[in-house]
Amino acid sequence: MESRQLLYTGLKEKGFNLTDEQIYSLMEYMNLVLEENKKFNLTAIEEENEFINKHFIDSILMYDNSQEEMLVADMGTGGGFPGIPLKIVHPNWKMTFIDSTEKKLKFIEAACKKLGIENVEFVHSRAEDVGRADEHREKYDLVFSRAVASMNVLSEYCLPLTRLGGKFIASKGPKYQEELEDAKKAIEVLGGKVDNITEIMMPYEDIVRYLVICKKIKKTPLKYPRRQGVPSKKPL
């Protein structure tokens, strides 16, 4: 199946009807990533159909097709996933991309300008630092993260950014239950509660993704996140 059709059909099967403009933007972003990847490592996935399924469809399925305006953060965005696909599908969102590698953020910023993607912000920072900054702490309706860290570490990165009543959403594989067991204390201490776990069967492949959705029910204590390196070395 041709790449563009693969993208459209795979998402339509899951209830997403993308416009021609959205399909075009996604395909153009893939081309930009694969071109940049020749000079700088943004992704290990270089085959187009695999890219579409594992980067685009996998990212877009992290949230339903709501078009409401929200403040959204992509923690540890890397090559722009899940943030860029989600932003293209949800144009009303204000999306903040956070990463500790400036070169990756510069690429995403340039790609957004080229594709006319607006209402975006780029934060070059370690997760531990951005979580303490007044302009970001407990400000976001949704905080996404994919393939960044285990749940106990990720919770300390993401829940301090999530507003009361907001949600932190992590994409996980089949070992999510073990991660959640280890993260029980962290999620509670940081003000969160596991609200839902959504099982998603990926199109075209026998792969299941698990979305761990944590709701922010109380404020994160001021001492979190701890200083750089501590959450990963000494998880809660």
Q: Is 99 annotated as a binding residue?
A: yes
The two three-digit tokens of residue 148, written as one number: 């960044």
Q: Is 227 annotated as a binding residue?
A: no
- What is the spatial distance between Cα 40 and Cα 236, in angstroms, rounded to a whole number? 34
Q: Is 162 annotated as a binding residue?
A: no
Lookup result for tokens 């990847």: 37
Residue positions counted in the chain: 236
**Cβ(189)–Cβ(236) under 8 Å?**
yes
In a 10 Å sphere around its CB, with 0-12 CB exposed, 13-18 middle and 19+ buried, how is residue 44 labelled?
exposed
Q: Is 156 annotated as a binding residue?
A: no
Q: Is 122 annotated as a binding residue?
A: no
Q: Is 83 annotated as a binding residue?
A: no
Task: Find, among 27, 43, 38, the residue nearest to 77 by Cα.
Answer: 43
Q: Is 128 annotated as a binding residue?
A: yes
**Cβ(119)–Cβ(142) under 8 Å?**
no
Alpha carbon 64 to its chain centroid, in Å, reads 14
Lookup result for tokens 């943004």: 42
Which alpha helices (H) appear in 43-101, and where do they start and end?
A: 48-51, 58-60, 83-89
Q: Is 146 annotated as a binding residue?
A: yes
Binding-site residues for S-adenosyl-L-methionine sit at 76, 81, 99-101, 127-128, 146
Binding-site residues sit at 76, 81, 99-101, 127-128, 146
